[in-house]
Amino acid sequence: MPSKSAKSSEWTVRESESDPMRAAFVRTIEKLRPGEVVSYGDVAARAGYPRRHRAVGQLLGTSFDALPWWRVVYNDGRLPPVNPSLQEQRLLEEGVTMKRMRVVESPLGRFASSSK
């Protein structure tokens, strides 16, 4: 999920258009707003593919900065092991409360005060 070339990122997202499930994941992730933190399972469920959370992770692992990957975490708030420092930095910039590389509270999404 670290930055790669924009060209390869765009290709990965465009490539998803031929796969309905991946395209649904892309649309769902693109709709995430600043400060909205969700889990891989949340993305899969919102996209209409519950239980396909691993496929969401595979997509994000190749999307680089074409998608807001930093807004997707494990269901318990932990950050995935790929570039957690950058992910934490971006989440903090969006008003997310973090503690030891874990989302504690976010303005929107799974970890919002109103959703608990």
Q: What is the structure's pLDDT at 16?
A: 62
CATH of domain 6-115: 1.10.10.10
pTM of the model: 0.85
Token pair 């990957």 is found at 69
Which residue ranges make up each domain of the chain?
6-115
* Residue 42, CA distances (Å) to 5, 53, 98 in order: 28, 8, 19
pLDDT higher than 60, residue 67: yes
Q: What is the structure's pLDDT at 3?
A: 46
Helices 53-63 & 6-16 angle (0-180, nearest 10): 150
* pLDDT one-digit tens code per residue, 8-43: 445 455 656 689 999 999 999 999 999 999 999 999
